């Protein structure tokens, strides 16, 4: 290995540190020689996709020799109906991550700036860094905040917007904190975003959120022409492995993204599966109901174990262990439970725990109890 190629890379790429994904089950099996592993590390839906999706995927297998519809006609039509927007407002992505990267690549470059919050979803920083643009990272709300510890401070973010700002990222709710911003605060923020700034509201966990005052920003596209809302099939729809998400925006903005978008960035299987998932309301509702019950139960259990639990509206919780979290993470691994350390976010004492099935959560709670006693 040599750094010769790193020296050749463009400046933005030289400064990149690769995204740290949750530890795959297969890796833990190989390294520790254990089976029966519970992965609560990547905010996936423990129920996975429903029968309708599996059946739809089976129907397209004979067609895999063909390229997918580059414009995703059918899926866009269904999404347009769902959101009450024309299909021209929709940008399909290879996961919503793809849409976030398209936004950064389209609107950022050296000399320009992006604004986001400390502890915001790590992909914003990576996408910005790759373009060579400047990061303007706003301080988060304090850990002692009564409702939204470590949450986005929209006033602090607004204060960082300047003439060179082109993109501002808001995760609602945010990962890894599970915090959220309400409709009144978000509207006030968007009212102040100048026309030269693209406001990206990332609603990856939208379907899970069940609190009064939580906004559906997709309904605001008329009012805020520079607004982009991103959604995904990776979380509540249970399709993380397929990679499909989308952006909703003004058609002109979608047209910009479409110049850069790879023509076949969403696969045939992903388009068909997403369409089926969108129509299977009962399966979605089952997953959301399970999460609601288990989020409350796991949160309470973690509090009872003495961990500091940040109230979450997603399908995961961030807990403050009050000590270095890395050894706890390792001890949980040895018990076959994978959670997510978040030292890369500047939170070395915290762990992010995804909400699983009842039995997976039982395993987690038991293992946590054991490792905290040691």
Ligand X SMILES: *Cc1c(COP(=O)(O)O)cnc(C)c1O
- In the complex, which residues of this chain contact ligand X (CB under 6 A)? 43, 95-97, 121, 171, 175, 202, 204, 232, 234-235, 240, 245
Q: Give me 229's structure tokens.
A: 């809302």
Please identify, using beta-carbon distances, which residue of 138 and 371 lies nearer to ligand X.
Answer: 138
- Residue 328's φ and ψ, nearest 5 degrees, are -65, -40
* 235 vs 283 by CB, closer to ligand X: 235
CA–CA gap between residue 205 and residue 316 (Å, rounded): 10
Question: C-alpha distances in angstroms, 120 versus 139, 140, 309?
Answer: 10, 9, 18
In this complex, which beta carbon is closest to ligand X, that of residue 32 or of residue 264? 264
Cα 170 to the center of its chain, rounded Å: 11
Q: Which is nearer to ligand X, 96 or 271 (CB)?
A: 96
> DSSP character for 173?
S
For strands 245-249 and 90-93, give the pairing: antiparallel
Q: Could you tell me the smallest distance in angstroms from the CB atom of residue 265 to ligand X?
A: 12
Find the shortest distance in angstroms from Cβ 117 to ligand X: 12
Residue nearest to ligand X (CB): 95
Euclidean distance between CA atoms 97 and 105, whole angstroms: 12
Alpha-carbon 331 to chain mean position: 27
Beta bridge partners of 91: 247
- Comparing CB distances to ligand X, the nearer of 236 and 367 is 236
∠ CA 347-148-351, nearest 5°, is: 30
The minimum distance between CB 232 and ligand X, in angstroms, equals 3
The least CB distance from residue 6 to ligand X, in Å, is 26
Task: Output the smallest distance, CB 172 to ligand X, in A.
Answer: 9
State in angstroms the smallest separation of the CB of 1 from ligand X.
29
Please list the residues that pair with 113 across neighbouring strands.
Answer: 134, 165
Closest to ligand X by CB, 83 vs 235, is 235
Q: What are phi and psi of 206, to 5 degrees?
A: -45, -50
Question: What per-residue string of b and e applies to 181-210 under the rule 16 or more CB within 10 Å gives b?
Answer: beeebbbebbeebeeebbbbbbbbbbbbbe
Residue at token pair 């407002």: 89
Distance of CA 247 to the CA centre of its chain: 13
Q: Which is nearer to ligand X, 311 or 336 (CB)?
A: 311
Q: Which is nearer to ligand X, 272 or 371 (CB)?
A: 272
CA atoms within 13 A on the CB side of 77: 5
Work out how close the CB of 182 gets to ligand X at its nearest, in angstroms, rounded to a whole number.
17
- Distance CA(239)–CA(309), nearest Å, equals 27
235-244 burial string, b = 16+ CB within 10 Å, else e?
bbbbbbebbb
Q: Measured from the CB of residue 240, what is the shortest distance to ligand X in angstroms?
A: 6
Q: How far is the CB of 43 from ligand X (least distance, A)?
A: 6
**Distance (Å, rounded) from C-alpha 193 to C-alpha 45?**
34
């Amino acid at each position: 290995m040599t750094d010769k190629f790193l020296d050749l890379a463009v400046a933005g790429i030289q400064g990149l540190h690769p995204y740290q994904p949750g530890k795959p089950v297969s890796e833990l099996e190989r390294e520790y020689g254990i089976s029966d592993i519970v992965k609560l590390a990547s905010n996936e839906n423990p129920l996975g996709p429903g029968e309708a999706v599996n059946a739809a995927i089976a129907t397209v297998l004979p067609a895999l020799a063909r390229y997918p519809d580059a414009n995703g006609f059918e899926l866009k039509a269904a999404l347009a109906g769902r959101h009450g927007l024309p299909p021209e407002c929709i940008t399909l992505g290879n996961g919503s991550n793809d849409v976030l990267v398209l936004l950064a690549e389209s609107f950022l470059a050296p000399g320009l700036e992006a604004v986001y919050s400390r502890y915001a979803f790590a992909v914003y920083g990576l996408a910005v860094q790759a373009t060579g643009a400047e990061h303007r990272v706003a301080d988060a709300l304090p850990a002692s905040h009564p409702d939204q510890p470590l949450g986005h401070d929209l006033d602090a973010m607004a204060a960082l917007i300047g003439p060179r700002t082109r993109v501002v990222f808001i995760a609602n709710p945010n990962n890894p904190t599970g915090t959220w911003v309400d409709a009144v605060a978000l509207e006030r923020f968007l009212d102040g975003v100048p026309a030269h700034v693209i406001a990206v509201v990332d609603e990856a966990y939208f379907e899970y959120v069940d609190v009064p005052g939580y906004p559906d920003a997709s309904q605001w596209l008329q009012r805020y022409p520079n607004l982009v809302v991103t959604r995904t099939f990776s979380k509540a729809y249970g399709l993380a492995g397929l990679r499909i998400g989308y952006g909703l925006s003004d058609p002109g903005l979608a047209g910009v993204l479409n110049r850069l978008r790879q023509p076949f960035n969403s696969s045939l299987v992903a388009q068909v599966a997403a369409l089926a998932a969108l129509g299977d309301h009962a399966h979605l509702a089952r997953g959301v109901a399970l999460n609601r019950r288990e989020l409350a139960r796991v949160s309470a259990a973690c509090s009872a174990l003495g961990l500091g639990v940040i109230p979450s509206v997603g399908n995961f919780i961030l807990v403050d262990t009050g000590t270095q979290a890395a050894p706890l993470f390792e001890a949980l691994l040895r018990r076959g439970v994978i959670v997510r350390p978040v030292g890369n976010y500047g939170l070395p004492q915290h762990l992010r725990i995804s909400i699983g099935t009842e039995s997976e959560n039982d395993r987690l709670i038991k293992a946590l109890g054991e490792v905290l006693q040691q």
